[in-house]
Copies of this chain bind each other. A is one copy, B any other.
Amino acid sequence: MSNFLQSYSTLQKSFLPETFAISSPAEIEAALQEASAAFIPFAKKTFIERAVFLETIAEEIMNGGDALLQKAQEETALPMARLTGERGRTCTQLNLYAKLLREGNWCDAVIDTAMPERQPLPRADLRRMLQPIGPVLVFGASNFPFAYSTAGGDTASALAAGCPVIVKAHESHLGTNAIVAAAVIRAAEKTKMPKGVFATLVGTGPVLGQQLAMDERIKAIGFTGSYKAGMALYTTATQKRKTPIPVYAEMSSINPVVLLPQILAEKTSAIATALAGSISLGVGQFCTSPGLLFAIDDAAAKNFAQELVTALKAVAPATMLNPTICKTYYNDKTSLASSENIQVLYDGDNLEENHQAMPSLMQTTAAHFIAIPALQNEVFGPCSLLVLCKDVEEMNAAIASMEGQLTGSIFGQEQELKANQNLIDQLQQAVGRMIFNNVPTGVEVCNAIVHGGPFPATTDARTTSVGPEAIRRFARPVCYQDCPDALLPLYLRNENEANILRLINGVLTKASV
Chain A residues engaging chain B, CB cutoff 8 angstroms: 39-40, 44, 110-112, 121, 123-124, 126-128, 131, 133-134, 234-235, 238-239, 243-244, 246, 403-404, 414, 417-418, 421, 424-426, 428-429, 431-438, 442, 444, 446-450, 452, 454-456, 459-464, 469, 472, 475-484, 486-487, 501, 503, 506, 508
CA A448 – CA B133 in complex, angstroms? 19
CA A148 – CA B14 in complex, angstroms? 62
Contacts known (A438-B124, A455-B243, A484-B414); A450 close to B421, Cβ less than 8 A = no
CA A475 – CA B464 in complex, angstroms? 13
Main secondary structure of the interface of A (DSSP, over half): mixed
3 smallest A-B Cβ distances: which pairs?
A450-B479, A126-B448, A238-B238
In the complex, the answer to whether A446 meets B486 with C-beta atoms within 8 Å is: no
Q: Which one, B40, B133, B482, contacts A462 given CB within 8 A?
A: B133
CB distance from A23 to the nearest CB of B (A): 26
CB distance from A282 to the nearest CB of B (A): 15
Contacts known (A414-B484, A434-B483, A459-B244); A425 close to B124, Cβ less than 8 A = no
Residues of B within 8 A of A475 (CB): 462
7 A–B contact pairs at CB < 8 A?
A124-B438, A126-B446, A418-B487, A434-B481, A436-B481, A447-B503, A462-B472
Q: Which one, B111, B235, B477, B506, contacts A452 given CB within 8 A?
A: B477
CB distance from A446 to the nearest CB of B (A): 4
Q: Which one, B121, B448, B479, B487, contacts A128 given CB within 8 A?
A: B448
* Among A239, A447, A464, residue most surrounded by chain B Cβ atoms (within 10 Å): A447
Contacts known (A244-B234, A438-B124, A478-B428); A447 close to B486, Cβ less than 8 A = no
CA A382 – CA B477 in complex, angstroms? 29
In the complex, the answer to whether A123 meets B446 with C-beta atoms within 8 Å is: yes
Contacts known (A469-B477, A476-B461); A126 close to B234, Cβ less than 8 A = no
CB distance from A431 to the nearest CB of B (A): 7
In the complex, the answer to whether B429 meets A40 with C-beta atoms within 8 Å is: yes
Residues of B within 8 A of A501 (CB): 508
In the complex, the answer to whether B478 meets A417 with C-beta atoms within 8 Å is: no
Residues of B within 8 A of A506 (CB): 447
